[in-house]
Structure 1
Amino acid sequence: MLDIIFNESSININKKGAVTGEIYFNVDNEYFPGYNWSDFIVVILTWWNKSINQLELSPVGVAVNFSFMDGPFNIRGEKKENDSVTLEFIKRNASGENISISIDMSILELKRLIQKVSRNVLNVINTTNSVFNDDIEELKKIVS
């Protein structure tokens, strides 16, 4: 079972408008990149939405990345069937890539999870702050 964890109370917006917060994957009680991982949440959710949309429209065999801004972490998603993706959770190091977790799931379910978290992040930003920037506007356009 896969879930994307977002800690609503972790949202931080700096003076330049960059939004950070805790976001990480829970795959059968294994956390990737790690428990309480914090990153540039609006930027990576924009990337993830673009990646899942690309994967959904691509032919079988195409792989896309669900990247993080911080750290040597990445998730590679390869389309296996029309609605099936294999996700590989990767940590890069000097000798190459280390795949810590691999899971098969529905592309539509992954898209639903990414969009749900994206909407939650936007709701928290809208209710707690009056900041607007290009990153936030781009994420809004993608999930609307």
Structure 2
Amino acid sequence: MRIVFDPKTLHQSKMGSVTAVVYFDFGGERQFPGAGWSDFVVVVVNWWLAALDRICQGEIETELRFMDGSYWVVVVAQDGANLLLRCTGGRQDAEEVYEVVVRLRDLRSELNNLASKVSQACAMAGIQSVDLDHLRKHLLN
């Protein structure tokens, strides 16, 4: 499992929203929500980091939501080391699309790497925002 981020697609709108390609890649033909998915990358990375913090603090279940469309990954703590990821979405009566077990440390590493890459790409592009400031504070902790 890895989280794909394409810094070449990074864009800040006139309203300040920052978008880029970001999606989960489970290998082979399994990308979620789909290969090339573009979303509000700074906002969703902040949400995902906060959700993972809740899991690390003992919460049993949380969601990694995408902002664009109705897609999310339900994260269920399995034990101290593993998490069940249920990729869900597409409609209001959404169904599970894919399910996989990953190690907590692997998801934490992927999210921290993603946050660092997003922060660096925004710095190189001269992008600034309150959400980006929040992301950078999370990286310092």
Q: TM-score range by the shorter chain?
A: over 0.9
- Tell me what 1:127 maps to: 124
Where 1:10 maps in the other structure, the secondary structure is strand
| Percent identity of equivalent pairs | 21
Distance (Å, rounded) in 2 between the aligned partners of 1:19 and 1:119: 15
Q: Aligned pair 1:42/2:38, yes or no?
A: no
Please tell me whether the aligned partners of residues 87 and 99 of structure 2 are also in contact (alpha carbons under 8 angstroms). yes
Q: Which blocks of at least 5 consecutive residues in structure 1 are unaligned?
A: none
Distance (Å, rounded) in 2 between the aligned partners of 1:93 and 1:36: 19
Q: Which blocks of at least 5 consecutive residues in structure 2 are unaligned?
A: none
Q: Aligned pair 1:78/2:73, yes or no?
A: no
- How many residues end up aligned between the 2 structures? 139
Please tell me whether the aligned partners of residues 56 and 83 of structure 1 are also in contact (alpha carbons under 8 angstroms). no
Displacement over 4 Å in runs of 4+: none
TM-score (norm 1): 0.92
Distance (Å, rounded) in 2 between the aligned partners of 1:143 and 1:32: 25
* 1:31 to partner: Cα distance: 0.9
* 1:92 to partner: Cα distance: 4.4
- Tell me what 2:99 maps to: 102
* 1:98 to partner: Cα distance: 1.1
1:1-39 alpha-carbon deviations (Å, 9 max, x no partner): x11000110000112221000000111221100110000
